[in-house]
Amino acid sequence: MYSAAPFKKLIVLLLALGSLAVFAPPAAAAKKSVAPPEIESFTVVPEELSPGAELIFTVEGTPRAQASVRIGGIDRTIPLKEVSSGVYEGTYTVRRNDRVVANPTIRATLKLRGLSASDSIRVPWRRGPPGRADAPVPAPAPAAQGAPAITAFGAAPIGRIEPGAELKFRMSGTPGGAAGFTIEGVTSNVPMREVSSGQYEGSYTVRRMDNFPATVRITGALSANGRTQRVALNQPLVADGKPPVVKNMSPHNGETIVAGTTTSVSATFDDSGGVGVDPKSVRILLGGRDITRNATISPQFFDFRADLPPGVYPVEVTARDLAGNSVRQSWQFTVAPQAAAATTLPLRVLSHANNAEIGGGSTEIRGRTAPDATVDVEVQGIASLAGLIGITQPILTQSLRADGNGNFAFSFQPQVAMPGARYEISLHATKANLTRDTKLVLFQKK
C-alpha cells in the first residue's frame, strides 16, 4: 500500500530550511562596520617650494593611523610621525634635482585598518630667483622676501632634568615665520608659538624614558619666505651652581703599593645633578709632572698607567664642569721596593679593568690576594645621567674566602640596568694582622 508519511516528513524539513533562510541575517550584515580615518587639518610650512627649502608637514586626524605625504613630481613617500594623539608631523628638504611639477599638489594620507583618507594643498613652485626664464610659474616678489634671521635663542634653566620637568625655550627673529626646536635624540620639530611680533615660545615636558646626555644638542629653527635658519642653544639647561667632585682615587690617599707591576692612577668625576665635566678642562699632575696628554680622559673618569719606580707620588687634579664650576683634588701614595712585599697584603683585581664598560647582564669580577684571606665585597650602582637626581642602588654585599692560591671571584647583576650608570665595587682583604683595600669602578654601556 502506498504511504504518504515520507512525503509529509520531506515537506516539514523543507519548510524548516525555508524559515532559516528567511530569518538568517545576510553575511554582509553580520560583519562589523569599520569607520574610515578622518583628516581634520593639513598644513605645510612654508607655503612655497624652492630648492633647499625645509617643508614642515602637520596633519591632525584619527589617532594611531599611518600618515604620509606625497609631493607632485617627487617619486617618494614622506612618512609622518605621531607626536601626540592624532597629531602627525614630518619634514622634507627640497633637493635641487627634484622634478617638482608647476604648482604641485601636496597630498597627505591617513591609513587605518585597510581604509584611508586624504587631503591636499596646492602650493607655488619657484625653481630659482624671480625673473629666471626657466621658472615654471612667476614668483611673487614682495619687498621683504629674504632669509629669516634668528637674533636670540635661549632656555629657562631648571634645577634638574627629571620626568615631568618642563623645558621652556624662547626665540627672537623674523616675525610671521614658523619656529620650532629639536632636542637631539629626544624629540624633533617641536613647534613654537609667536606670542608677539618676532617673539616665539615653546616648551617640552620630559618623559620618563627620555635620555639626556651631558652634552645634549638643542637647535632652534625659523622658516620664512621659503628658507630656514637654524641656531644651536649655547647655554646649559640645568642651573648648575655646584662644582663636580673627584672620587674613587686609585691608589687611594696614603696607600702603599709594591713596585714591579703597572700602576693605574685614576679617579672618577661625579657631577650628579649637574651638566657634567668638560674633558678638555681636566689637568693631571703626578709627582709634579703634567701627565694629562698621556692619560685617558672622559666626562666620567681619567686613567693613567705606568711602571713607577719606588718613591712618594703626590697627585693633583683640576677640572671644570660645562657650567664653569671648578674642582681641585690632591692626594698622594707611595711605591715601595719589592722587598716590602712581605709586610704588605696583596689585593689585585684581574678582571675587569678599572673604568671599563659592562653590559646589562651578570658581571663576574675576578681577583687575587693572599691564600685563604677574607675578602669583603660591596657593590653600589649610581645613576650618572646629567641633570637627573642621583640614585644610589645597593646591589651586593658579600664576604668570601680566597682559595689556596689567593684567587677569588664573585658576580653581581643590578635589578634595573641604567644606561650610563656607575658601579663602585669596594674590596677589603684581611689576613692575620694585615688589611688591604681597593676599589673598582665600572660603567654601564649606553
Contact 322, 340 (CB under 8 A): no
Q: pLDDT: is 206 or 240 the higher one?
A: 206
What is the per-residue pLDDT for 71? Answer: 87
pLDDT for 27 beyond 60: no
**Beta strand extents in 271-421 (DSSP E only):** 283-286, 289-290, 296-297, 301-306, 311-320, 326-336, 347-351, 356-358, 363-369, 374-382, 392-401, 407-412
pLDDT in tens, 155-172: 988 877 888 888 999 999
Query: Can you tell me the distance from the alpha carbon of 388 to that of 237, in angstroms, rounded to the nearest whole number?
Result: 12
- Region 408-420: mean pLDDT is 84
pLDDT in tens, 253-301: 999 888 888 899 999 998 766 667 889 999 999 999 999 999 999 988 9
Q: pTM here?
A: 0.51
Cell of 269: 668625576
Portion of the chain with pLDDT greater than 70, in percent: 83
Residue ranges of domains in the chain, CATH in brackets: 39-122 (2.60.40.1930), 150-232 (2.60.40.10), 241-343 (2.60.40.1220), 345-446 (2.60.40.10)
Cell of 443: 660603567
Q: pLDDT: is 56 or 318 the higher one?
A: 318
Query: Band of the pLDDT at 54, cuts 50, 70, 90?
Result: confident
pLDDT in tens, 343-380: 788 899 999 888 888 987 899 999 999 999 999 999 99
Is the four-CA dihedral 363, 368, 369, 374 of positive or negative sign? Answer: positive
